[in-house]
C-alpha cells in the first residue's frame, strides 16, 4: 500500500522533493518570528492589482488551478453516493469537449478530501486514477477529542487507503503559547501518518493574530508537517490573503534554514476563478514555480471548480457561461 502510494500518486511526489523530516523545536526561532498585520494587509490588498493573466494564459492558469484542487465534501450528511459523485467529478472535473479543445485531456483535480468514514468509498471510486484521497482527521474540526483517539483515527484512515491526512492542531496550545505541547502533539501525528502525507490545519481564524499564525506555522513544520493548511472551512474566517502571506513567508524561511520544501493549502472561502489566479500568482512570486505543483500546493475548495468551468467555457466560446451547463460534483 505504502509503495503504491508513491508510484501511483504523482500529486505527492511529482517533483521528487524529499519529505520534510522535521527538526528539533527551536524556540528562539519561534519567538523571533514577526508578522506586522498592517503591512501584511496592505501588501495583500495590492496583490490582485499587481498581476494579471489574460486569454490563453488565463485558461492555462485555470486548468492549473483545477489540477491543484482538493475537491472536498465535509458534511454531516455525506453519503457513499455523494462521495462517489464527487470522485467522478474529480476524475472529470471539466467537460471532455472543453478539455479536448484546451489540449488538456486527462486533467484531474489534485485530490478528493473527505471524512474518515468515506475514505474507503473514495479510494474505490478513484481506482485506476492517480488521484489521492485525503482524510480530515484528529477530531476534525475542533481537535478536542482525546489525543490517543486522534492518533488512532489517523492510523485507521491510513489503513483505509488515505494517502494524505489533514490533521487539525490544538488551537489552545497556540493561544497559550505552549509551543512544546503543539510540537509534541503534531510530531506524534506525523509519526502516526507514516507514509501518508500530513497537512497541518492551523485554523488560522481562531489563532487571534498573524504573529501566532507565523509561529504556529514554524512549529508545525519543525514537527514534520508536509503541508501547512489554513483552515478547516468551519471557522468564522477561513483562507485569506494576509494569512496566506504570513504562512508562505514561514515556508520560505523554513526552506532557507533547513533546505526542505513544505507545501501550502489555503482552504475555505476561495470560490472564484479570479481568486484562484491571485493565489497562484502569489505562490509563483513568493515561493516560486515549485509551489504551482500538486505536491506543494493545493486549494481546499468545493465551489471553486464550478466557477472555473464557467470561465473556461467563456474562454472557448466567447460567451458567458451558465452553471447548469457543467456537471455537478
Residues serving a catalytic function are 166, 229, 265
Q: Does 56 bind other proteins (CB under 8 A)?
A: yes
- CA dihedral defined by 87, 93, 96, 101, rounded to 10 degrees? -160
Stretch in the footprint of other proteins (CB under 8 A) among 19-27, 84-92, 97-105, 135-143: 97-105
Residue with Cβ nearer other proteins (102 or 134): 102
Residue 102 makes contact with other proteins by CB under 8 A: yes
Distance separating alpha carbons of residues 36 and 110, to the nearest angstrom? 33
Per-residue mark of binding to other proteins, 278-297 (x: CB under 8 A): --xx--xx---x--x-----
Cα–Cα distance for residue pair 294/302, rounded to 1 Å: 17
**Closer Cβ to other proteins, 104 or 225, answer by number:** 104
Nearer to other proteins, 36 or 75 (CB): 36
Please tell me whether residue 216 binds other proteins under the rule CB under 8 A.
Answer: no
Total number of residues that touch other proteins (CB under 8 A)? 42
Nearer to other proteins, 51 or 274 (CB): 51
Residue 59 found at the interface with other proteins (CB under 8 A): yes
Residues 103-132 as x/- pattern, contact with other proteins by CB under 8 A: xx----------------------------
Please check whether residue 167 is in contact with residue 181, taking contact to mean a CB–CB distance below 8 angstroms. Answer: no
Instruction: Tell me if 100 contacts other proteins by CB under 8 A.
Output: no
Residues numbered 239 to 258 that lie near other proteins (CB under 8 A) are 245, 249, 252, 256
Instruction: For other proteins, give the closer residue by CB, 163 or 210.
Output: 210
Select the residue interacting with other proteins from 7, 18, 28, 38 (CB under 8 A).
38
Using the minimum distance from each CB to other proteins, give the nearer residue, 53 or 327. Answer: 53
Stretch that binds other proteins, among 78-86, 155-163, 190-198, 209-217 (CB under 8 A): 209-217
- Among 216, 204, 111, smallest CA distance to 161 is for 111
Residue 237: CB atoms within 10 A of its CB come to 14
Q: How far apart are CA 18 and CA 9, in angstroms?
A: 15
| Part of the chain binding other proteins (CB under 8 A), chosen from 59-67, 132-140, 267-275, 320-328 | 59-67
- The interface region with other proteins, picked from 47-55, 153-161, 183-191, 196-204 by CB under 8 A, is 47-55
| Cβ at position 69, least distance to other proteins in Å | 14
Instruction: Tell me the C-alpha distance between 104 and 314, whole Å.
Output: 16
**In this chain, which of 16, 54, 77, 128 binds other proteins, going by CB under 8 A?**
54
Residue 69 binds to other proteins (criterion: CB under 8 A): no
Q: By the criterion CB under 8 A, which residues form the site for other proteins?
A: 34-43, 46, 49-57, 59-61, 63-64, 67, 102-104, 209-211, 245, 249, 252, 256, 280-281, 284-285, 289, 292
Amino acid at each position: 500500500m505504502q509503495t503504491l502510494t508513491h508510484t501511483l500518486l504523482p500529486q505527492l511526489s511529482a517533483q521528487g522533493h524529499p519529505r520534510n523530516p522535521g527538526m528539533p523545536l527551536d524556540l528562539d526561532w519561534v519567538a523571533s518570528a514577526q508578522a506586522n498585520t498592517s503591512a501584511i494587509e496592505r501588501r495583500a490588498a495590492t496583490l490582485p492589482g499587481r498581476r494579471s493573466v489574460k486569454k490563453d494564459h488565463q485558461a492555462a492558469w485555470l486548468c492549473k488551478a483545477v489540477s491543484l484542487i482538493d475537491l472536498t465534501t465535509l458534511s454531516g450528511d455525506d453519503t457513499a453516493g455523494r462521495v462517489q459523485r464527487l470522485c467522478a467529478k474529480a476524475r472529470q472535473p471539466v467537460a471532455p469537449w472543453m478539455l479536448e479543445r484546451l489540449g488538456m485531456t486527462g486533467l484531474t483535480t489534485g485530490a478528493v478530501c473527505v471524512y474518515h468514514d468515506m475514505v474507503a468509498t473514495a479510494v474505490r471510486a478513484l481506482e485506476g486514477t492517480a488521484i489521492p484521497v485525503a482524510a480530515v482527521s484528529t477530531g476534525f474540526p475542533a481537535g478536542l477529542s482525546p489525543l490517543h483517539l486522534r492518533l488512532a483515527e489517523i492510523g485507521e484512515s491510513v489503513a483505509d487507503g488515505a494517502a494524505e491526512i489533514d490533521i487539525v492542531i490544538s488551537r489552545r496550545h497556540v493561544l497559550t503559547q505552549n509551543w512544546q505541547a503543539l510540537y509534541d502533539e503534531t510530531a506524534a501525528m506525523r509519526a502516526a501518518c507514516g507514509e501518508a502525507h500530513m497537512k497541518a490545519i492551523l485554523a488560522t481564524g481562531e489563532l487571534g493574530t498573524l504573529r501566532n499564525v507565523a509561529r504556529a506555522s514554524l512549529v508545525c513544520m519543525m514537527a514534520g508537517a508536509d503541508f501547512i493548511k489554513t483552515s478547516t472551512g468551519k471557522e468564522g474566517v477561513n483562507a485569506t490573503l494576509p494569512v496566506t502571506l504570513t504562512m508562505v513567508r514561514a515556508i520560505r524561511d523554513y526552506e532557507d534554514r533547513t533546505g526542505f520544501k513544505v507545501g501550502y493549502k489555503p482552504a475555505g472561502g476561495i470560490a472564484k476563478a479570479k481568486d484562484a489566479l491571485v493565489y497562484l500568482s502569489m505562490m509563483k512570486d513568493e515561493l516560486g514555480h515549485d509551489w504551482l505543483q500538486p505536491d506543494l500546493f493545493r486549494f481546499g475548495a468545493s465551489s471553486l471548480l464550478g466557477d472555473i468551468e464557467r470561465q473556461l467555457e467563456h474562454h472557448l466560446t466567447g460567451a458567458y457561461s451558465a452553471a447548469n451547463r457543467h456537471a455537478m460534483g
